[in-house]
Every structure is written in structure tokens, then in C-alpha cells.
Amino acid sequence: MAIVNRTPDSFYDRGATFEEDAAKAAVERAVSEGADMIDIGGVTASPGAEVDAEEEIRRVLPTVEWTRQNYPDVLISVDTWRHEVADATCRAGADLINDAWGAADPQILDVAANYGAGYLCTHANRDPRADPVRSDYEDVVSAVLEETTRLADLAESKGVPREGILIDGTGYGKNTTDHLSLVERTGEFVSTGWPVLMALSNKTFVRESLDLDVADREELLTGTLAATSIAAFAGAAVFRVHQALQTRRTLEMVACIRGTRTPARAQEWIS
């Protein structure tokens, strides 16, 4: 799942794909690099300037429409918590609602059901775009498991297609130690039977673990891919990423090691 932000204030790309032409170019690049899904978002998760539903739709809808027209076989995800945005983009052909805020707007589940779209179930532990606050988790993994599987069951009961429901093994409202535990225990999410998404790309927990800054792009990527490998080996199904090509190669290598992918070229040398 390749990230394309139609925002001027993303923590990582700093508005690099805010303009429509830049967003199109990013979609083209991601698809050429092997992305299976494009995740289009119009509001950064961090606290900041207010973006109402109308403005969010204005930002993301043209990119959804263009991607659907030009890449009919690529899955389209829309990163939103608002049912109005989900409705407009699903009508335009979006396949998945990436709701990072745990159905803070309950009507979003009805939209997914009405269109037969998929839905990502996330443990957020705060209101959309509120200041970060970490709960005093007794066991962060158990807390995330309980909430995401509850949402998955709720989504299915609302009529969201079971095969389109995923659970997020990360989410907001957690510190670096929490995220390390979530990656290390990815297998517990996989054991639920729901497909698992991991959003690890260049996140704060990678920066803090390795004492890096956002500007340390190559080193951040190395840390991200290390975490990605561990989660992939445990069976996570989808990865939300900034760098599609490097992630694709990492996942292919993990799949070869796990035996779920045949090496592209295998030559046996005998001395």
C-alpha cells in the first residue's frame, strides 16, 4: 500500500504530493515500483490547521478518479475517518476505507457496507487529530487486539464484506516501546484470522530506536525495512509505505525465505 498524501503538512513528505500533478506522478511511480494498492489521504493525522469534509473531498476525489481511470487493476484506499469523504470516494471507485481513527464517525461503516468496500480497523485511543496521549496500557498488544477485532466483528455485522476487512497492528496513542512490542508480537494479530496491516514506514518509533531525524532518509528506510521483515515473516498481509520498490523487494525476499514465493532465478552451482 503506497502512500500518496494530498496534504501540505505531512510529517514525512512535507507536501511533496499536495499538488494534483505531483500526486499523479507519485501514483505512476508507485505502480511502476510494484505497489498493489494506492492509499490517498487529504488530512494529516497530526494536529494542525482545520480541514473540513468539503476541502478533504476537494483534495482527494480528483486523485481517486484519475487513478481509477488510469489503473483499473490497482486497489485504491482512501485515508479518512469521515463518512462524507468515504461516500464520495467510494462512489468514484475506491476499494478500501483506511480509517485511522477507529470508527470515530460510526456512519463510515455503513458507507463501506453500502458500497461493498473494504474497511481497515484501527486502535487509535484518541479523537481524530487530537494531541497525542498515551494510555497506561497493562498490555498494549492485548488492548489493540481487543479493539481491532471488536471493530472487525462490528464491520461484518454492518454488512462490510468479510473478505475486505483488515485489522491494523499499529495505530496512534502509543510510544516507541509499545510499537516495538506490536511488531515483535505481530503473530498474535495474524492468529486472529483477520488480514493484518502494518503501518511502520519511517515512523517515530524507528527514529527513536535508532536516534535518527526525519531527514536521515536512508537510515530510516533501513530501520523501517528491518521492522517490515519481522512483521512480514510473522504473516502480516499489507504494509503501508512511502518507498514501494524497496518494500516490495524486502517482502519478496521474506516470502522466498518463508517458502511462499519461488525465487525468480535459482541456479545451483556445483564445484
For 27, residues 6+ apart whose C-beta sits below 8 A from its C-beta are 2, 4, 38, 63, 66, 67, 70, 71
Residue 211 lies in a domain: yes
Helix (H, G, I), strand (E, B) or coil at 114: helix
> By C-alpha distance, which of 40, 37, 44, 38 is closest to 14?
44
Residue 268 lies in a domain: no
Question: What pLDDT is attached to residue 12?
Answer: 78
pLDDT digits (tens, 9 = 90+) for 64-80: 999 999 999 999 999 99
pLDDT digits (tens, 9 = 90+) for 15-63: 899 999 999 999 999 999 999 999 999 999 888 889 999 999 999 999 9
Number of compact structural domains in the chain: 1
Residue 166 lies in a domain: yes
What residues make up the domain containing 232?
Answer: 2-258
Is beta strand 37-41 parallel, antiparallel or unpaired with respect to 118-121?
A: unpaired
Instruction: Spell 229-253 as b/e; 16+ CB within 10 A means b.
Output: bbbbebebebbbbbbbebbbebbee
What is the C-alpha separation between 17 and 26, in angstroms, rounded?
Answer: 7
Quick one: cell of 136? Answer: 497506561
CATH number of domain containing 181:
3.20.20.20
